[in-house]
């Protein structure tokens, strides 16, 4: 028989305070990681949207200043993150599925190369040393290749999950219910990752001149919101 669990008022208050503290810390973590990116691309979208508005030049000038500040600060705070992506590329070699392994390695290596050249460009911008202007295109091509590879990786993950679903339909009813409960959150997580990686494709495309800057900015806003939602989900889960 199940026995009722008694929670004293003091314990309930403590749990509530702990939960509120965890939520507050989570908001700070999300803000520090994603707020700058969201503001950066939202500013770019506003600049693109209002570029022909002659009566709003002062506002556009201020938004450009804000966008430049967010871009510069993000480059500074993600310094040496290229090493982290290269480490993830090495960890991806442990993937059992060949397609996931190859695409993950290409994606993470591409992001590592992108950030490495992005760091060099930032050092050149602050006149620490001279940098070849072509590095900007090298960085953009590396980021584009990474985003395409990661998008294909996400599609592969969805395909494997669908295959798992087909397998579950042939299993006993009790096992299906239990596995479906575990499978559904995985599908949603991969779908969000797919949307984020796909939206990020348009940012380097715009840098290379193959996409509109407004489309790239909108993609950056959407991917930033998705990243914030993913971060929040991880914190709530923990």
Q: Please report which residue ranges of 53-134 form alpha helices under DSSP H.
A: 57-77, 81-91, 98-125
Instruction: Say which residue, 104 or 234, is predicted with more confidence.
Output: 104
Q: Express each pLDDT in 56-95 by its tens digit.
A: 788 888 999 988 888 887 877 777 788 899 999 999 999 9
Residue 33 pLDDT: 63
Alpha carbon distances (Å) from 67 to 1, 74, 196 = 61, 11, 21
Residue 9 has pLDDT above 60, yes or no: no
Residue 123 has pLDDT above 90, yes or no: no
Instruction: Say which residue, 25 or 125, is predicted with more confidence.
Output: 125
Domain residue spans of the chain: 79-200
d(CA 27, CA 231): 10
Residue 163 has pLDDT above 80, yes or no: yes
Residue 229 has pLDDT above 90, yes or no: no
């Amino acid at each position: 028989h199940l026995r009722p669990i008694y929670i004293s008022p003091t314990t309930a208050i403590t749990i509530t305070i702990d939960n509120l503290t965890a939520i507050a810390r989570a908001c700070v973590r999300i803000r520090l990681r994603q707020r700058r990116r969201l503001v950066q691309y939202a500013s770019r979208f506003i600049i693109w949207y209002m570029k022909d508005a002659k009566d709003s030049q002062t506002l556009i000038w201020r938004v450009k200043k804000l966008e430049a500040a967010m871009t510069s600060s993000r480059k500074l705070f993600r310094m040496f993150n290229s090493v982290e992506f290269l480490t993830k590329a090495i960890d991806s070699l442990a993937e059992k599925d060949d397609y996931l392994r190859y695409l993950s390695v290409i994606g993470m290596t591409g992001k590592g190369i992108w950030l490495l050249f992005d760091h060099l460009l930032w050092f050149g911008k602050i006149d620490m040393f001279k940098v070849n202007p072509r590095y900007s295109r090298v960085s953009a091509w590396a980021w584009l290749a990474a985003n395409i590879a990661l998008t294909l990786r996400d599609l592969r993950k969805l395909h494997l999950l669908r295959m798992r679903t087909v397998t579950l339909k042939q299993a006993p009813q009790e096992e299906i219910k239990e596995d479906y409960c575990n499978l559904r959150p995985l599908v949603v997580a991969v779908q969000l990752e797919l949307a984020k990686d796909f939206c990020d494709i348009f940012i380097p495309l715009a840098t290379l001149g193959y996409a509109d800057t407004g489309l790239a900015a909108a993609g950056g806003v959407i991917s930033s919101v998705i990243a914030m939602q993913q971060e929040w989900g991880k914190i709530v889960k923990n």
